[in-house]
Every structure is written in C-alpha cells, then in structure tokens.
Amino acid sequence: MISAIYWVRKGVAAEIPEKYDLDDKEYDRINQLEAITLEETEEVSEKNQNKMTDDNEIDPELAIYNLDQYDDDEDDKQPMSLFGNMKGLAYYTSNEDDPYITLNDEVKLNDDEKEDVRILQTDNILVAAKTEDEVSQLEIYVYEEAEDNLYVHHDIMLPSFPLCLEWLDFRLGRKAGTEGSGNYIAVGTFDPEIEIWDLDTIDSMYPDAILGKQEGNQKKKKSKKPNADFHIDSVMSLSWNKNHRNLLASSSADTTVKLWDLQSLKCAHSFNHHKDKVQQVEWHPIDSTILLTASFDKSVAAFDSRAPTSVAFWNTGNADPECIKWDPFSPQYFYVSLESGLVLYFDARNFNQASPVFTLHAHDSAVSSLDVSSSIQGCIVTGSTDKLVKVWDVKDMKPNMVTSRDLGVGKVFTTQFCPDSPFQLAVAGSEGKVFIWDLSSNAGIRNSFKGRCTVPFLSESTIIEVSNDQNKFNLLY
C-alpha cells in the first residue's frame, strides 16, 4: 500500500544527485548518534544474561568450561559503537591498494550513471511512502509531464510503517550551514521519531536528521506520559513553515503537537490542547504563526503558536476528523473531512462550537484524503476508502460534484494536486501504485472551471490566447 505522497516542484532537485559517501566524517556523525542506543543494548543484553544465569543452575559437568563467562573480555574496556572496532582494522585509502578487494570504491558517478540519474528542470519529483510485505520504503519518482512518464528514480528504506510526508528546503545534517536551499523529505511513522532524508542523495544509509531521538535513559523509562521534549507514540502528521523555514510542526498519537527547530534539531514547544490522538496539523498559508489541528477527540483547533493558551475549537460531531485544509483563496475558511464521509467547511472567525458554513456528503465511507487546489478557485478533490476519487466545484459555497472515478488504486489514502501543473492530480492507495490523473482530459471539468485557473499551462486540450490590450493569459477550453 501507499499511505502518503508528496509532489516536489520542478527545478528544486539537483540535476545530478550525489552518491552517498560513508567517509570518516559521516562515520563519526552516525556513530555519535547511535552510540547511546548501542550501549543501552549492551546493558540490556548483560542483564538478560545475568537473569538467565540466576534462573538456570549450571550443569556441574559444563562448569569447567566457564560458559557463563564466555563473552567476558578483560582487554575490551571500550563501549560498543555502531561499527565496532572498524577503525582499529588495517585500512587502505583505495580498494586498489587492498590485496583482498578488487571492487571499485569510487563514490562519484561515471558518465553513464549520471545520464541514468539526471533530473531535468522540467521534471517533477513525486515521493511515495510504500509498504509491501512488511517492508517500508520511500519511492522517489520522476514525472516527465510532456511524455506522461512516471518512473522510480531511487528508493530509501524506512525502519517503520510510514504515516505522513512533508517536504522542506532547510539545509541540515551533512549539509548544515552550507549556502542555498536543500531538498529534503520528513517522514512520520509508527515510531515516535521523525526522520529527515536528503532527496538529492542516492543510496543513503542513514537520515540526515532525526527529530525526537530518545537517549538511553529516556528509552529505558518507556514513559506513557506525554512530555515537552519528544513524542512517545506514532507521528501522524507534519507541516513545514514556509515563512519561518527552520520550523516544523508535528502531531502525534500521544495527544500532543510539537514545534521543532530544524537548526538545533530540538523541540522548541509542545502543545497539549487535545485530549486524544492528533490526526492532522497544518500551518496557515498567510499568517505564519497560526496552526490548525484536528484530533480524535472530535474537535478541530486553531491557535497562535506564540500564544498557545488561547485556542479556538470546532466540534466535528460524532465522527473523527481525517484531513484538514485551509482554503488558499479564502484563508479565513478551512475544510475538514470526516470518517463518516462528510466534508465540513468552517469560518475560522466564528469559533467555539460554531456550525459549519456548509456540509458536503462526499462519500458513504471515510473521506481519507482531501486536497484543495491552490491554482483553480473552487476546485477540491476527495478520496475515500470506497475506492472513489471525486472532483467538486464549491463556487459560492454551493458544492457540486463534477465527476467521480475509480482509478484502480484500491482504497484511496492520499491525493495531491501538482504544484506546477494545476490539472495534474496524483492518487494512491491500498493497491500500492501511483496514478497521475490529467483532469483537463475531462470535458466536464474543463467546462466547470473554465477561466478560473490562475496558472497558465499548456496541454493538448488547452488553447492559450494572448490578449493584445492586456498583458495576461486567457484560458480557453
């Protein structure tokens, strides 16, 4: 199945991705991060061994072999590291100098490899969180719109089932402090930690950053009580602040919402205004300090992260919320999809149990996916566990279904509009495959949203007429 997808804009990805290099600097970075975990493992193993010795009397005939002290080594006083005593071994600067190895250790790509991994400025990247046979990974696709070609460029293995994805450009990890923008994907999983991977690096072995990584003593306690420093349960949603680029918000099954500083990789603030699992979190598109959250306590909340004690609430009735989205054309409003199949549209200016502006009965099953076009005014898309994807026209707050399709992806878990091509929609679900739906190929969609697209684009079904008296594009279908 594919549980989440995320489009990356054209021109963001490096033309030639770099190949992961486990050099001394990277070795030290990983070893430092993992040393505590491995020391903890040693201690647990020793305790288990002592317990087994206490619980089981040693056979006198075997006592002469000192099996209970078999692993003891008086000369080894150093703590265990991720790579053991690797640095104490004989080391050759090149495999050519090592008489036992004939492999090429070149980490740079040759010309043929560069052509295979080259990403053009006209290519989109699409990241998919996929799980198959209990193995989870990120599949990084390249989408060539002109040829309508989608293929897997590379993949990244994950330690746990992925629940959510969020793209960000704040440089961190191996590239922390360097100039320019990055190309990273943050992943929330069943684990309480958040991994951040560099999409411009192939064959990566370790994430560039881990947020909320618990130290040895903290892991031993296994506290079930939420705290201010890290999550203790699954990370269900992520939202990057595009105006304050060092801030990433996360929501968790531990009932908290946390604000992470990507510079220090520490939790800057923890919010506990909900009483149950927090399904979604999203920054306001204009007011960069406002957060919107949705919880299984059957409420949606909005608050200023600078003054978190003042929280506005909206009730979702008897159904748990699935998705929340701000309206990009009217940012004082927001959408909420529910497990009951409804979509609610609220006015953020009217809070504390205020009724929705309108209620849309979108599906007979849970509305597991919702996206609002930022380029086509009044266009929203819903996806459901009933396997249907529906396009809606909500002009003048009077929702009307334009079309409905079963795209063959199974139960729909995620849908997202392409940020560069307004009518390209990515859809994925329980069948484990991605479908790119060109909405402009549907005559009903073209007629319904005629003249409402704010981004000019070219396709076979679109004619662009340039007005002589006005320096703008008029879209005709």
Question: How does pLDDT run across 327-372, given as a tens digit for each residue?
Answer: 999 999 999 999 999 999 999 998 766 799 999 999 999 999 999 9
Which residues are CB-contacts of 81 (< 8 A; sequence separation ≥ 6)? 31, 34, 35, 38
Give the pLDDT of residue 392: 98
- Tallying the residues shown for the chain, one arrives at 477
SS3 of residue 206 by DSSP = coil
Letter for the amino acid at 327?
A: D
What is the three-state SS of 295-306?
ECCCEEEEEECC
Contacts of 349 (CB under 8 A, 6+ apart): 332
Question: Residue 241: which residues within 8 A CB-CB, separation 6 or more?
Answer: 247, 248, 249, 283, 288
In the block, tokens 């076979």 appear at: 460
Element (H, E) at 466: strand 463-466
Q: What are phi and psi of 435, to 5 degrees?
A: -120, 130
Pairing relation of β-strands 235-240 and 342-347?
unpaired
Q: For the chain, how big is the Rg over CA atoms in Å?
A: 26
Q: Which of 145-149, 223-227, 315-319 is the least confident region? A: 223-227
The predicted pLDDT at position 410 comes to 97
Average pLDDT, the chain: 83
* DSSP letter assigned to residue 354: P
Contact 415, 424 (CB under 8 A): no
The token pair at 352 is: 């504390």
Give the whole-angstrom CA distance, residue 241 versus residue 383.
Answer: 26
Those residues whose C-beta lies under 8 Å from the C-beta of residue 308, and which sit 6 or more positions away, are 269, 271, 273
Q: What is the pTM of this model?
A: 0.81
> What's the token pair of residue 140?
């990084």
The fold adopted by the segment(s) 162-215+226-448 is Methylamine Dehydrogenase; Chain H (2.130.10)
Q: Are 152 and 119 in contact (CB under 8 A)?
A: no
Say which range, 182-186, 218-222, 301-305, has the weakest mean pLDDT.
Answer: 218-222
Q: Which residues contact 463 (CB under 8 A, 6 or more apart)?
A: 476, 477
Which part of the chain is CATH 2.130.10.10? 162-215+226-448
| Bridge partners (DSSP) listed for residue 197 | 185
**Residue position matching structure tokens 């990403």:** 119
Would you state the pLDDT for residue 68? Answer: 54
